[in-house]
Amino acid sequence: MSSSHSSSSSDLESTLRKLSKEQLIELLIRAVSLAPEIRPLVAQNPDKKDSSDLVENARDAISTAVEDVDWEEWHHSGRLVDYDPVQQSLKVLQLSGFSEEVLELGLELIEQSREQIEQYDRDGEIVDEVHFCMDIVLEAFNTVDWPNHRKLLWLLDAERNDDFYLMSAFSEILKNPHPPEDWSLVADALLEQMNRSDEENGYNRRMVDETMNALTRAGRDPEVLDLCKTVAITDGDYLRLVKLLLDKEDYQEAEEWIHRGLAAEKEASSRSAGQLRECLLELRKKQENWDEALFMQIENFVQNASLELFKNCHYSAEKLNNWSTVRPLLLDFLIEGKNPWDQDTWPFQNKGETVPIRDSGYPNLYLLVDTAIYERNPAEVLKWYDLKSGSKGHGFHDRFRTNRQTKSVADAVQEFAPERTIAIWQELAEEQIAVTKPEAYVEAGRYLLRMKAVMSQNNMTAQWSDYIQSLRTTYRRRPRLLEVLDGLPRT
């Protein structure tokens, strides 16, 4: 409490003690008339320890506040919801000394407001209203006479159901350091809750995370591993355990649990199975077992080809000095769709078991262009790019992806074929000019600058000047475009 607030309260108390009973009564009546929300507090019998009436009022206020939005009231007052009665009822409870009840109602408020926020809150107005209520809950949290571990449990319970960051005012409390013995009590309570959970529905994943964190902060690391094993067997959540074992560099046990997890997966193509295989691949790299790592990476490439996976194969193959053998197999897959392990030059005894998840057509021109850029082979870049130019996609994603790759192509062939680079920047600029929007003209200006740079390097200054003049003539009725052209260097 600040010194100014303490001084103000002391002055008020001194003044009130000087008043007679009649004067105090008159003062309270006037206060209630000015602030009707304090009536329940004034009417409360100071000797009465029963909070039931005040709690019932607060619950009624919450139920009313979380009802469907009254759109007529919104048009009339501009206010989507009204949580003022909730704030007032919580404040009265807090001032009456019922902090525990306020905390209980805070949990109910988080739960009951969720659906309303999810359906109607677009600009954060409802969240803001609930935040004001949670400020009062924070006051109760700070004043309630609970042991620290119970407060931590209440926070975890509240945050577990908080999908809209209503608990932001509390966010730093859990991050702050707390004694290990408090976290140990929290861990015991959470473990007991988990033991009481319905095994058929499995464990609450958020609660498992919380329990692991509590055990760790309590210094009970061996129990963290035991908990992960229990969850893996009960819920099939092997990934959490495997990652923990990898972090501990217990590679042998990690591999055992990876294989148990893969065997337990009903669908080999499931997300969980894919994540476990990624862990196995990571393990192979940590073990520097590059033969098996490369084998798995080639399988991944066939399953879902990408430039990143091509690079991964390159890295591992270099470790084995067999990139000259592997590279043609990957390119044949991109060009003709041939599985690498069906070729005579396949360098492993085992055959891959996966098949492509989706056949996007061969040759895979987009990826062939990317691989040629990666390998700094401008002749191949233009070869595949020219083939792709006649088969551009028509969706927004395809246009965006093609446009982005086209810029990379222009950079990749600049020294090899400057005339093609100039033509690409010109085409991109004129596409933007055709959009006829100011922001598109600015983008066109960027492409024209790239075009000018290449032309200047190749002694084509006169051609650059002639081209810009032709644009001025053609688009003389577009002042915003002319402004962009005026901003370009003339020589």
How far apart, in whole angstroms, are the C-alpha atoms of residue 210 and residue 232? Answer: 16
454, 425 Cβ separation under 8 angstroms: yes
Whether the model clears a pTM of 0.85, i.e. scores above it, the answer is no
Which helix H or strand E contains 452, and what residues bound it? helix 438-457
* Alpha-carbon gap, residue 383 to 372, rounded angstroms: 9
CA-closest candidate to residue 431, choices 395, 461, 400, 460: 400
At residue 2, the pLDDT reads 45
Query: Predicted confidence band at 14 (pLDDT cuts at 50, 70, 90)?
Result: confident
Choose between 218 and 303: higher pLDDT: 218
Q: Which amino acid is at 72?
A: E
Are 327 and 308 within 8 A, CB to CB?
no
Residues 6+ apart with CB under 8 A from 118: 163
User: How far apart are the C-alpha atoms of 132 and 91, rounded to whole Å?
Assistant: 11
pLDDT over 70 percentage in the chain:
88
pLDDT at residue 6, as a whole number: 53
Distance (Å, whole) CA 416 – CA 280: 42
Using pLDDT thresholds of 50, 70 and 90, give the confidence band for residue 403: confident
pLDDT at 396 over 70: no
Look at residues 106, 108, 100 and name the one whose alpha carbon lies nearest to residue 49: 100
Instruction: Give me the mean pLDDT over the 200-229 stretch.
Output: 91
How far are the Cα atoms of 115, 299, 330, 411 from residue 341, in angstroms, in the given order?
A: 53, 9, 10, 35
Contact partners, residue 406, CB within 8 Å, separation at least 6: 385, 424, 428
Q: Which of 264, 254, 259, 205 is nearest to 233 (CA)?
A: 264
The string of pLDDT tens digits covering residues 54-72 is 999 999 999 999 987 777 7
φ and ψ of 269, to 5 deg: -95, 10
Query: Residue 274: exposed, middle, or buried by beta-carbon count in 10 A (0-12, 13-18, 19+)?
Result: middle
Residue 419's pLDDT band (boundaries 50, 70, 90)? Answer: very high
Q: What are phi and psi of 272, to 5 degrees?
A: -65, -45
Q: Which helix (H) or strand (E) holds 195?
A: helix 180-196
Q: Find where tokens 């000018």 sit.
A: 452
Q: Note the pLDDT tens digit of each residue in 370-381.
A: 999 999 999 999
Question: Crossing angle, helix 52-65 and helix 84-95, to 10 degrees?
Answer: 160
d(CA 62, CA 89): 9
- Cβ within 8 Å of residue 105, ≥6 positions away: 55, 58, 59, 62, 90, 93, 137
Give the separation between CA 261 and CA 263, rounded to whole angstroms. 5
Structure confidence at residue 397 (pLDDT) = 41
Place of tokens 């945050």: 159
Give the number of C-alpha atoms closer than 13 A to the C-alpha of residue 419, restricted to the C-beta side. Answer: 0
Say yes or no to pLDDT of 213 above 50. Answer: yes
Residue 324 carries which side chain, given as an amino acid letter?
S
Average pLDDT over residues 262-267: 84
Task: Note the pLDDT of residue 17.
Answer: 85
Instruction: Output the pLDDT for position 22.
Output: 81
Name the one residue in this structure whose structure tokens are 């028509």: 394
